[in-house]
Chains A and B, each alone.
Chain A
Amino acid sequence: MTAFTSTPPGSLDDPEVAAEYLRLVGDGDEYGAIEVVNGLLDAGVPAPRIMLDLIAPTQGRVGELWAANEWSIAREHAATAISERALAAVSARSAARPTRGRVTVACVDGEWHALPVRILGEMLRLDGWRVDFLGASVPGPHLVTHLHQTGPDAVALSCMIATRLPRAHAAITACRSAGVPVIAGGRGFGPDGRWAHRLGADAWAAGAQEAVVRLARDWPPVVGDPYGNGFLGDDEYTYVARHRGDLVHGAMARLVAEYPPVAAYDQRRLDSTLEDLGHVVDFLAAALYVGDPEVFTDFAAWTAAVLEARGVPATALVAGLRLVRDQLRDFPAATATLDAGLTRIAG
C-alpha cells in the first residue's frame, strides 16, 4: 500500500480506492479514511459521488463482512463510526445554500442504522434542502414534537429491519396527522417499498439518490386522511404481539425438554437463545401485520445464512421456528407463515 499512499487517490473508478478505504475503516483509522475522502475531493470528485459510490457501498460491504463472520461486531461498529466521521469531513467541505424547503430525516423508533439516513440528509442538503437530522431510533412523540416546532415539508423516515414496521406505521400516521407528508426508505419497507405504501407513506425511495429526485418534483403532496389505512393488525397479529414473552418462554421450555444440554446453558447463552427466539416472534408479528409472509421468509433465509457462516447448523433455527409454531396451532396465518419460513430454509 506504500505505492498507494504516496500517490493520493484521484478517481473512484479505481477499485483500489474502495479496497483501501474499506481497509482503513476496518482498522479504525479515522485519519486515513478522512484523508482518502479529502484526496478525492481535492481531485475534483463531487461530494455526492463520494457519499454514494464510496461511503455507502463500503457500509454495505461492512454489513456483508459481519454477516459472513469475517468481521467482529466491534469492528463493524468501529468501521461505521469511522465512516460517519468521513462523511462529516465530506460534508464540512461542501457548502450548499438552502433554496428548497425543510426536511426532517429520522430513523424509526428501534432502528439503529443511522449512516444511510445520514448520507440521505447530506444529499438533500446539497440539493438545497434545509435538513434536520434526528438520528437513530427516534421515538414517535419526539418526532412529532419536532414537527410541530419546525414545520417541515417532508419527513424522510428510514426503516432497515422489517420488525419495526408496526412502529413505522405508527410514526407515519403520526407525521401525517401532523400534516407532514412522509417519504419512506430503507430495505425494511420491502422490495419496491411495497410495505411503505401499505403503511400509508406518501412516497417511497429505494435510495438516497431516488429520494432526492422524488422530493425535487411536485412536493409536498396534499396529505389525505392519515387514518386512511387503518390498523393493519388482525387477531393473529394482536395475539402474537401481546404474547411475545409467553411464546418466547414457551419455546424455551420446549427446547429444554427436547434438547437437554440447554438446561446447562449459562445466563449469557440463555439470553442469546431467548433473543433469537424473540427475533423469530418479532418477524412473525411484522409479517402478520403487513399481511405478507415474505417479511418472515426473508428473515429466515438471511438468518440461516448468518448462522451458517458461524458454523451453526440450520437445525437450530428450524427447531426454533417449529417450537414457536407448535404454540400457534389455532392461528392459520401464523402457522402458514412459519411453514413458509421452514420451507425457505430447507430450500
Chain B
Amino acid sequence: MTAQLPLQGDRHASGPSLAPPALLRAVLDASAEAIVVCAAADDTVVLVNAAAAELVPALAPGSRATLAPGAETFTDVVAGRQVHGRRRPLDEDHYAWYLRDCTEELLRAEQSRAERARTEFLAEAGRRLSASLHRRRCLRTTVELAVSHLADAAVVVLPADRRQSEWVRLVTGGRVEEGTLREQVLAEVPSLEDALAGFPPIPSRWLDASQVPGWLLPGDFGPVGALLVTPLPGNAEPAGALILARRGAGATFAPDDEMLARIFAARAGAAISAAALYREQVDTTAILQADLLPPQLPRPDGVELAGSYQAARDALRIGGDFFDVFETAPAGGFGGPTTTAGQAGGFGGPTTTAGQAGGPEAGPGGETVIALGDVCGKGPEAAVLTGKIRQTLRALSLVERDPAVMVRVLNRALLSAGRQHRFVTLVVGTITRAEHGRVRIDLATGGHPVPLVLRADGTVEAAPIRGTLVGVVPEISVHPGTVELAPGELCLLYSDGLTEARGGPSGQEQYGEARLHDALASCRGMPVDAAVERIRQLVSDWVHGGVRDDIAMLAVRAPARTKLSLMDTGPAGSPFAIDARRGERRNRAR
C-alpha cells in the first residue's frame, strides 16, 4: 500500500526538479492546517501531518479514517474539539481531509451572538419600558420581557401596602395574571424580603429552588430548577422585586444571565417608579381639577342647556375660561343651590356637557343662574382665580337674583381680595320660565363679549347689554338687559377664544363675529347640544388643527315645539305637546 503513495514513490521517475520526500514531509508538517491522506479504496489513513496528529491523535497511518464517510465537508466534535473538515480528491486512488480546529472561532461567534441578543433585548426593554407611564402596563411589560429572554416564569412582587402585596406573573406560553398576597407569606420565597428591602441580589446558586412555595407559580409549572430574585430599584425604596424561575432539574442562571437580569431589573424598576410618581401627580391634579373643570350641566324643566370647554393645547385642561350653572331652590326654601358642579366626564379630548336626563331638576319656582367668563392669564394661577369666582357666584346666587348686582358685588369682592393685575370678564344670567314655553334670561356683562341670540327665523342678534370689566376699578358700569326666547330660539354665551381663533386659508385670520353670526344662523332648528357641537366643529375646521386659546361656550335654548304637521300623530295644539305626548306614550308602553 505504502508503495503507491506519491510521496514515497519512485524519486527518480519524475525527473530532477521533484523535491525529495523528506522535504515535502517537512512542508506538510509545517502547515497549520491538519491534513490526513487516505486511500480511496478502503479509507485507510496513509499519511497524517503534524497538525493532524495533534488535533486528532487517534488518526495514525494504517488506521481507518472514520471521518464523515462519503461527505464532502463536515463540522463535528472530534476528540473534544470542534473540527471542520473538507475532503479533496488527490488522484484516482487517494483523497485528503483538510481539517481545521474551529473551537475558538465557534465560541467567539457564540459569545458574539449572545452579546448581540443581550443588546437587542436591552434595547427592546428600554423602548417598551419607557413607552408607558402607566404602572400596570409597566408591570405587564416587565414580566413579558423577562419571560421572552430570561426565564420560563417571571413574577413581579410589589412592596406591601397596608399588609397586601400586589403581584404580576407570566409563564411562557401563558397569559399575564395579577393578584395580591398577604405580606406574611412573602418570607416563604427565598431572599424575596431582602430584595424588597433593597439589598443586592443573592447569586442564584445560593438559593434553594426546592424551597419555592407552591403559591408562587401555577401548579402545572413543574419543579423549579433555578431561582433568581432581583430587586427592582426605585426612587427612595425598591419599586418591587423580580422573581425569575427556570424549569427542570439541570437549569441554572449563569453569571452572565444574572448580570443581564440585574441590568434589566434596573430599567424595569426605573420605569415602574416613574409610573408611580406620575400616578401620584395625576391623582393630586385630579383632585385640584375636580373643582376647576366645567360642571356636568343640570337639566332644568323647560330649558335646554349645553356647554363646551376646549382647553388650549394643555394636557391638564384647566385654563382661564370657565362656565357654571347654579340652580337655586324656590324662594323661601333656603336650601342652597340644589346642585350642579361635578367633574366633567372623562379626560382627554375637549368636552361637551349637556343636561343629562335624570339629573337634578329645579323645583317649580326655582331659578337657574348661568355664568361664563374669562380670567386674565392662563395656567394654574388663572385656574385658581376661576375657582374662586365660581364659588363667589355660587354663594351670590343664593341671596341675589339680579345679575347686575351679582357682577357689581363680584367686582368689589375681587378688589378687596387685594390681588393686583387680575381681572375677569364675564356674563351672568338668570333664567326664568315664562308662559307658552318661552324662556326669559336676565343678563349682565362685565366687559365680556355680548351673548348672541338665534331667533326662530334664523336671524342672529346681540343681547342688549354692556358693561366694563371686573376687578380693576371700584365702580363699574353695568347695563343689564333681558332676552326672551320663544320655543326653538337660542342664546349663546361664549369666550373671545372663539372669535379670535386664528385660521382660515392664510392661517392667520381671526374667525370673527361675522362668521360666528353665520355659524349660529346655520344652527337654526338644532337641539342645543347639536348647535354647540356644530359651532365647535366649524371653528375647529377654521383653525385647521390645534386651538391656541381656551374656548368656552354655554348655550340656553327654549325647547322647540314638535313639528306636529310632520309628526302625523294627531291633534295636539298645546305648547306642552311634547310633555303631554311623553306621558301618553309612557302609559301606552306599560
Contact = CB atoms under 8 A, between A and B. Distances in A.
Interface of A: 1-2, 5-6, 8, 23, 27-32, 35, 38-39, 42, 72-75, 77-78, 80-82, 106, 109-110, 112, 132-139, 141-143, 145-151, 167, 177-180, 222-223, 225-226, 244-245, 248-249, 252, 267-268, 271, 274-275, 277-278
Contacts of A73: 522, 534
A167 B537 CA distance: 16
A39 B589 contact: yes
Given A2-B570, A139-B313, A167-B545, A27 B563 contact: yes
Nearest to A27: B566
A277 B544 CA distance: 14
Interface of A is mostly: helix
B560 A137 contact: no
A137 B278 CA distance: 26
A199 B515 CA distance: 35
A179 B133 CA distance: 10
Contacts of A72: 525
27 contacts: A23-B566, A28-B563, A29-B567, A31-B578, A32-B569, A35-B589, A73-B522, A74-B522, A74-B526, A75-B525, A81-B527, A134-B346, A134-B349, A135-B351, A138-B348, A139-B313, A139-B546, A142-B317, A145-B348, A146-B348, A148-B134, A149-B279, A178-B133, A179-B141, A180-B132, A274-B505, A277-B505
Contacts of B562: 27-29
Residue from A8, A32, A75 whose CB has the most chain B CB atoms within 10 Å = A32
Contacts of B529: 81
B533 interface: yes
A77 B128 contact: no
Nearest 9 interchain pairs by C-beta: A151-B134, A179-B131, A138-B349, A81-B530, A148-B133, A146-B348, A248-B505, A151-B137, A145-B315
B318 to A, nearest CB: 13
Contact of A245 (B141, B352, B507, B589): B507
Contacts, number: 162
A110 B545 contact: yes
Contacts of A245: 505-507
Contacts of A39: 589
Contacts of B126: none
Q: Which of B278, B349, B350 has the most CB of A within 10 A?
A: B349
B524 interface: yes
B419 interface: no
Nearest to A251: B505
Contacts of B339: none
Contact of B527 (A2, A6, A28, A112): A28
B523 interface: yes
Given A142-B315, A178-B133, A179-B128, 4 more contacts: A2-B568, A39-B589, A77-B526, A148-B134
Nearest to A74: B525
Contacts of A147: 132, 134
B348 A143 contact: yes
A83 to B, nearest CB: 11
A149 B286 CA distance: 11
Contacts of A133: 346
Contacts of B127: 225
Contact of A137 (B282, B317, B350): B350
A178 B540 contact: no
B400 interface: no
B514 interface: yes
B135 interface: yes
B349 A74 contact: no
B136 interface: yes
A8 B589 contact: yes
B255 interface: no
